[in-house]
């Protein structure tokens, strides 16, 4: 999984019907670069500035209640930021 900081959210009015009901968060990798910022779906209620744990690709399927075209899902909110030693 990746650690990432929630930077904001996006709004998409014209979208795949299976995406309705998810928040779509802008997530910047905690260890990586801003250029690798991606979008993750969320149902845990992560807020802007929080550090989240994101599962990607095939693993997302197991975290969803029902099938959706989502390749990155917030699966945890991290209690305390680790040091970047």
- CA dist., res. 19 & res. 3, Å (int): 23
Smallest separation (angstroms) from its own copies to the CB of 17? 10
Min CB(3)–its own copies separation in Å: 6
68 binds its own copies (CB under 8 A): yes
Pairing of strands 2-9, 51-56: antiparallel
Nearer to its own copies, 21 or 36 (CB): 36
Site pattern 17..36 for its own copies (x: CB under 8 A) = -xx----x-x--x-xxxxxx
Query: Rounded to the nearest 10 degrees, how much is the dihedral formed by the CA atoms of 31, 61, 17, 29?
Result: 0
Q: Which residues pair with 8 in a beta bridge?
A: 26
49 binds its own copies (CB under 8 A): no
């Amino acid at each position: 999984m990746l650690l990432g900081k929630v930077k904001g959210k996006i709004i998409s009015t014209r979208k795949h019907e299976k995406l309705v009901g998810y928040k779509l968060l802008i997530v910047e990798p905690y260890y990586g670069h801003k250029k690798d910022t991606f979008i993750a779906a969320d149902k845990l209620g992560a807020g802007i500035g929080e550090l989240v744990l994101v599962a990607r690709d095939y693993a997302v399927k197991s975290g969803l209640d029902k099938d959706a075209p989502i390749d990155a899902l917030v699966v945890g909110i991290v209690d305390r930021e680790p040091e970047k030693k």
